[in-house]
Structure 1
Amino acid sequence: MRDMEQKLQQERQDRRDVNSDLSRQYKTMQTELSNKVKTLEKEVSQLKEELVLCQEDLRKEKRERERVQQEKDATVNDLQHKLDNMEIEYEKILHETLDSLTSQLSVARQGWEEKSTALHQNYKELLSEFGLNAFDI
């Protein structure tokens, strides 16, 4: 009987030891898990802060890109307007130059025709003085 009591005592002691060990392991795991949760919560908090900063940076970059694009568009429109005005001005200059040239050619032509007529008249008179008919030649 004693032997059995001793075995029973031993088993109870073993059970208490196992129970105690399991409790200790449980508490250790619970502490580790709690620490890990706290660490992950801190990391999540930091990542959220970084995300907010990154989103703000992204908004700033988008605004800056839109501003630069608007400036480029305004510059292109301004240059296109200047180009159109230059084209109109050059067209006016070309028309004025061509009109002036046409006018000068017309005046020169009249002068040549007058000289030519005078020259022909002189030659006719010379031919007639020699007794020749200009139409026969």
Structure 2
Amino acid sequence: MPPKKNKTKKTTKKNPEKSENELEAKYRRSVLDIAVLQDRIALQCESVIKVQSDRVDLRRRVRDMEQKLQHTRQDHRDVNSDLSRQYKTMQTELTSKVKRLETEASQLKEELGLCQEELRREKREREQVEREKDATISDLQHKLDNMETDCEKVLHETLDSLTVQLSLARRGWEDKSTTIHQNYKEVLSEFGLNALDI
């Protein structure tokens, strides 16, 4: 009987370990996903900062060019018109790029929030599995203790029974031994011998 109990105990241990391994794998994947998202956000933030810095530099350059153009406006009207057009185009492109990067950063923040929520949910599930596993182990330990008590009880009853049987057998042997000794004494006395002398 005990080997069967051990087998069921092993199989009940394998299933929680398997689910625990799956939860740990999910947890690791979630942690990696969060790290990747954080890296992407950091890169996007650096890009936004660089774009804003470029924008400030471009505005300064444009101001410098406008000052130069004021002195040479008469001679360089075409250049001034072209630079103005380029400035507006670049400003439009930079504005749209900044908006696009801000939208991307917002989406990444949302994804990060979803990943964090999923991570919290998986942690709760893992804690639930841990509680169930502990309850199962406790239940099995209780059953094992009960079996141990029952086995001890059966063993004590068996030993008590054997003690009684041995006691009865001993009395029987002692009675037989006394009868045999008495017979030998009588036989010896018939031959005129004393049993104590022998």
Q: Which one has more relative contact order, counting CA pairs under 8 Å at least 6 apart?
A: 2
Does residue 1:43 correspond to 2:104, yes or no? yes
| Corresponding residue of 1:74 | 135
Instruction: Flag the 1:17–1:100 CA change in 2: closer, same or farther, 3 A.
Output: same
1:13 CA drift (Å): 3.9
* Count of paired positions: 127
Amino acid at match of 2:136: T
The CA deviation string for residues 24-54 of structure 1, in whole angstroms up to 9 with x for no partner, is: 2211211111111121122112212212221
* Structure 2 gaps, min length 5: 1-71
1:47-97 per-position Cα deviation (integer Å, ceiling 9, x unaligned): 122122212211221111011001000001101111111111111111111
Name which of structure 1's ranges 72-81 and 86-95 shifts more when overlaid on structure 2: 86-95
Give the secondary structure class of the aligned counterpart of 1:133.
coil
Query: Equivalent residue for 2:26?
Result: none
Higher mean displacement: 89-98 or 109-118: 89-98
TM-score computed with the length of structure 2 as normaliser: 0.60
| TM-score, length-scaled by structure 1 | 0.85
**CA RMSD of superposed structures (Å):** 1.4
* Letter in structure 2 aligned against 1:24: R
Question: How many Å separate the matches in 2 of 1:65 and 1:16?
Answer: 72
1:1-137 equivalences under 5 Å are: 11-137=72-198
Q: Does the 8 Å contact 2:188/2:195 carry over to 1?
A: yes
Percent sequence identity is: 79
Secondary structure of 1:17's partner? helix
Gaps in structure 1 of 5+ consecutive residues: 1-10
